[in-house]
Chains A and B, each alone.
Chain A
Amino acid sequence: MATSVRARPDGSPPPAAPPSSPGPRGRRRSPGGWRSTLYRWDLKAIPYVFIAPFFLTFAAFGLFPLIYTGWLSLNRVELGGDPTWKGLENYTDLATSEFFWNALFNTFTIGVIATVPQLLMALGLAHLLNYKLRGRGFFRVAILAPYATSIAAATLVFAQLFNTDYGMINGVLGWVGFDPVNWESSKWPAQIAISVIVTWRWTGYNALIYLAAMQAVPQDLYEAASLDGASRWRQFISVTIPSIKPTIFFTIIVSTIGATQLFGEPMLFGGSVGISGGSGNQFQTLSLLMYEKGWVTGALGQASAIAWVMLLLLLLVGGVQALVSRHNRKKLGG
């Protein structure tokens, strides 16, 4: 190629060709060049090959379903039938559907009742486990045990405990002198009962995350604080909490995602009317509504629209949380 230098259109002499190397040297260089191309190719491309399995899997099982769901949400799709174009109608229908707003509100209230006490309790537990105490290893494993239990098993046990007629909780309430509570059919008791199941399962998990973060807090800070005469509570508030703030944000985000997708607990808690979240939809969450639309009444387009609304909600919540955490970092001068 290098020999076939043509004159430029404007007649100017061609730019000086690179000095051609003498024969033998060129012969030696040729395989070396091929090897270095191979080397460069290796350096640039092989990393992509190594991570390709993830991206291929992600494209097949993450991205494609996401996009396909988005497309379905613009159609009228019946289980086993062909889709027909509907435009944004599924979304506008959601906006005027009181069942959607009811489910959204329930998701929010159950999320708050389940998440806030759960994280506070986890913080407290982690703080206690952070002290030197006898059998610490045992307690650390013990608080993780609920997390290792399956949702189905835990929920079925709690559903029996909360049974209005035969359950232990109403039995205990009866001894103390309270009237039996309709744990399933009344709105707030049902939501509280479901939140108890969620809290029971996830408190230990969050406590362990907090504990890990607390262990990384330099011991000097506590020594300095106690030299200054700070009580343990004061140390907790002024040293521990600020030091593990990023971890707290992380658990809040993860718990919010979990709460938005809440499905198994209310479904199993409600027994045969679990999918509709009780007889009056009193604890139907967004996931349950999506499931009901998709698999019970067969309106897959509407179910897809709910899935996308849930995704957008989570992105919105994530965005707000990112803004708050950035604001906090700035305030701390970080």
Chain B
Amino acid sequence: MRTSSSRRGRRAAIAAVAVVVTGTTLLTGCGSDDDGKGGGGGQSNEKITLRIGTFGSFGYDNKTGAKLYAEYERLHPNIKIEESNVSDGQKYWDTLKLRLAQNSGVADIQAVEVGYIAEATGTAMANKWVDLGKEGGAKVDAFLDWKVKQATTGDGKVIALGTDIGPMAICYNKDLFAKAKLPTERDAVGKLWSGDWAKFIATGEKYKAAAPAGTSFHDSASGLFNAVVSSDPVQYANTSGELDWENSPGVKNAWENAVKAAQGGLTAKLRQFDEKGTWNAAFKNSKFATVACPSWMTGIIKDQAGPANQGKWDIAAPPVAGNWGGSFLAVPKAGKHTKEAAELAAWLTAPEQHAKVFAVNGNIPSSKDTLTSSAVQEAKLPYFGDTPVGKIFSSAASGITPAAISRYDGQVKTFLTDNGILDIEQRGTDPAKAWENVKKLVDDKIDQ
């Protein structure tokens, strides 16, 4: 018995060695094959997982979104898609920058917000991305021209494909408006502040006079600041794309309006996208009556206010048409499967998919034909009752004059809202002092 078992053991060992040896040969064989093709797994049926990093609400996922991942996985049985989502766009970008610098830890596809796109196309980062104008088969002509221009580097590489744009309206809570004896019908509401942000503030004063206890007119002064800046053709940069926020009429106008709202007690003193969830909780508890509503915000309201508040929210025309936000999908060269990722990014941002995402999540597409298509024009979001969201947002989109952006826009915006407006709103800091403070912050932290 003993001898036979030991012999069996030895035979097993030999077999194991043989398996290991052949296995390794096969593996190395595959590896060199891959290298020969030049990056990516090639057209083989090898199973791969594509990771996609996003922030906020892109509306692709299989749970509440347009189920685009499931659809793509059906079309490509060898591909599995995993999304990781961060709520705070600023933190998302900070982490992404670090990972890009290290050339590791990046997802195969990374979303980029418009505030950071100039930084992504800048000299320090332009070489970190795959040229999607050449790879992945995207039809670049289908996008709005200014959207493509924003994602194009100095030497003509298109490093990112447009997802949505952010034509802006005002979302308002009909219940609270009724309690404060304001009109609730969307055309009448739009007329309250039509043409001027000062009228919006004046409506806020009216709301405050008869407001239900514990509620505010607007969610946050920094949100209002962003909305006003977004409606001005001159934002943080001058026409040649250089940072010039101190002399910008758009920033000045936005600052004055936001300060007025903060000091007049018209805001709920919240920080939008706050990670501790205070802002989200305020949606659930109907703590404020209005929020500046770029198209992508409708998805956030739906998720945060929840089914209990269905039908309470409506959308009215903004005082001045503007574009707040909108994003891109980019493929970092440091990703594992750049070829497949470029194909997926092109597919996700193709007009058909734009339309699908819009139908579910309300993100206004950045492709020309989809924007004017009847699907968008006649769209209604169930959560917002029978509001013609498509018409409201696409007409806001037609009023957009794209502003020049500099590579520091995102950071300056954060300083102005988090360290300027929020400080006035929450801590009662003198506006002049807060402005000085922002100036010092920008000097100290940006120009090195």
Determine if chain A interacts with chain B. yes
Chain A positions within 8 Å of B, measured between CB atoms, are 76, 78-81, 97-99, 159-160, 163, 165-166, 182, 184-186, 271-273, 276, 279-282, 292-293, 295-299, 301-302
A279 pairs with B418, CB closer than 8 A: yes
Q: Which of these, A166, A273, A280, A301, contacts B429 with CB under 8 Å?
A: A280
| Residues 238-279 of B at the A interface (beta carbon under 8 Å) | 271, 273-276, 278
A296 pairs with B100, CB closer than 8 A: no
Q: Considering the chains assembled together, what is the distance between the CA atoms of A78 and B418 in angstroms?
A: 23
Chain B residue, CB-CB nearest to A80: B101
B445 pairs with A297, CB closer than 8 A: yes
Q: Considering the chains assembled together, what is the distance between the CA atoms of A163 and B282 in angstroms?
A: 13
B437 pairs with A80, CB closer than 8 A: no
- Measured between beta carbons, the chain B residues less than 8 angstroms from A185 are 426-427
- Measured between beta carbons, the chain B residues less than 8 angstroms from A298 are 97
Task: Tell me the smallest distance from the CB of A238 to a CB of chain B, in Å.
Answer: 48
Chain A residue, CB-CB nearest to B422: A279
- Measured between beta carbons, the chain B residues less than 8 angstroms from A186 are 427
Q: Considering the chains assembled together, what is the distance between the CA atoms of A78 and B276 in angstroms?
A: 31
Q: Considering the chains assembled together, what is the distance between the CA atoms of A159 and B276 in angstroms?
A: 8
Q: Per-residue 0/1 for B408-448: is the Cβ within 8 Å of any A Cβ (1 yes, 0 no)?
A: 00010000001100110011010000000100110011101
Q: Interface residues of B, CB < 8 Å — how many?
A: 33
> Does B128 count as interface, using CB distance less than 8 angstroms?
yes
- Measured between beta carbons, the chain B residues less than 8 angstroms from A272 are 88, 90-91, 271, 273-276, 418
Chain A residue, CB-CB nearest to B446: A297
B448 pairs with A279, CB closer than 8 A: no
Chain A residue, CB-CB nearest to B93: A296
Chain B residue, CB-CB nearest to A282: B427
- Measured between beta carbons, the chain A residues less than 8 angstroms from B155 are none
B445 pairs with A293, CB closer than 8 A: yes
A271 in contact with B418 given A76-B448, A292-B445 (CB within 8 Å): no
Contacts beyond the supplied A279-B419, A279-B422: 4 A-B pairs with Cβ under 8 Å: A80-B124, A273-B422, A279-B427, A299-B448
Q: Which of these, B271, B411, B446, B448, contacts A273 with CB under 8 Å?
A: B271
- Measured between beta carbons, the chain A residues less than 8 angstroms from B444 are 97, 99
Q: Offer 30 A-B interface pairs, CB within 8 angstroms, sorted by A.
A: A76-B448, A79-B98, A80-B125, A80-B128, A81-B124, A159-B276, A163-B276, A165-B278, A182-B426, A182-B427, A184-B426, A272-B90, A272-B274, A272-B275, A272-B418, A276-B418, A279-B418, A279-B419, A279-B423, A279-B426, A280-B419, A280-B423, A280-B427, A292-B445, A295-B98, A296-B94, A296-B445, A297-B445, A299-B445, A299-B448
- Measured between beta carbons, the chain A residues less than 8 angstroms from B441 are 99
Q: Considering the chains assembled together, what is the distance between the CA atoms of A284 and B103 in angstroms?
A: 30
Q: Per-residue 0/1 for B311-328: is the Cβ within 8 Å of any A Cβ (1 yes, 0 no)?
A: 000000000000000000
Task: Tell me the smallest distance from the CB of A221 to a CB of chain B, in Å.
Answer: 51
Chain B residue, CB-CB nearest to A89: B448
Task: Tell me the smallest distance from the CB of B332 to a CB of chain A, in Å.
Answer: 12
